[in-house]
Amino acid sequence: MVRFDNVSLHYGDGEDILRDLSFQLNPGSLHFLTGPSGAGKTTLLKLLYLAHKPTAGHLHLFDQDVTTAPRRALPALRRRIGVVFQDFRLIAHLSVLDNVSLPLRIAGYRPEEYSDDVHELLHWVGLGKRLHAEPASLSGGEKQRVAIARAVVAKPDLLLADEPTGNVDPEAGLRLMRLFVELNKFGTTVVVATHDSNLIERFNANVMTLRDGYLLVSEGAKRTATA
């Protein structure tokens, strides 16, 4: 599904932030991405959700080489990716319900086709009583849960989460991580960037560690898919 072949990336004339990365994410695999601040975790996620292209090497996503693909081919690939951003990126004038429904509306679904699923998901993440609230009235943890619900509602082929449990308490963080695991069981490839070593220890997943732009991969004990 995803393959990096000797991928490097730098901005402008600066030094490489990511250096000579070669790895793959198999369909239906689960991964933690970790490493110290400034190691390049968010940059790696940006490559995966096509916000950047490599400055060297090749990135294959859903059997397409996005390094050489024309720009017109990228929107269809992006629709297969769910992203939980660290800064949430909720639309201020839309309610919780409408923010979460947005990917389905963009995909062309009618409200009667997705209404029950969206309501069920929002109740599951603890926002059943906040359906019509706007982002400005939400706490940081509530905004995080809206962002996660929006990212998973369309059942993406690839889910990327940048510090998704950073604004919630440990119990809520485990609940959200279990949501990612359930989605993974249905075939979604999941990558969770986190500093939380306790979270990593609780779940059996491959661990990718970035340090100084280089990547070290460790496999989960029971996983056959490799990073």
Q: Where are the domains of the chain?
A: 1-80+157-227, 92-155
pLDDT digit string (tens) for 169-181? 888 888 888 889 9
Position 225 scores a pLDDT of 36
Q: Angle at CA 54, nearest 5°, toward 5 and 102?
A: 110
Query: Which pair of structure tokens corresponds to residue 166?
Result: 């950073």
Contact (CB, 8 A) for 122 and 149: yes
- Tell me how far apart the alpha carbons of residues 100 and 145 are, in angstroms, rounded to a whole number: 10
Distance of alpha carbon 169 from the chain centroid: 20
Residue 14 is predicted with a pLDDT of 86
- Sequence-distant (6+) residues with CB within 8 A of 199 are 32, 165, 173, 174, 177
d(CA 37, CA 203): 22
Instruction: Enter the CATH code of domain 1-80+157-227.
Output: 3.40.50.300
Indicate the residue type of 116.
Answer: D
Whether residue 191 contacts residue 159, with contact meaning beta carbons closer than 8 Å, is answered with yes
- What percentage of residues in the chain have a pLDDT greater than 90? 72
pLDDT of residue 223: 38
Instruction: State pTM to two decimals.
Output: 0.89
Q: Which residues contact 176 (CB under 8 A, 6 or more apart)?
A: 125, 144, 145, 148, 164, 165, 168
Place of tokens 């839309």: 94
Q: What is the pLDDT of residues 124-147, one digit of tens each?
A: 888 999 999 999 999 988 998 999
Which residues of the chain carry a pLDDT beneath 50?
A: 221-227
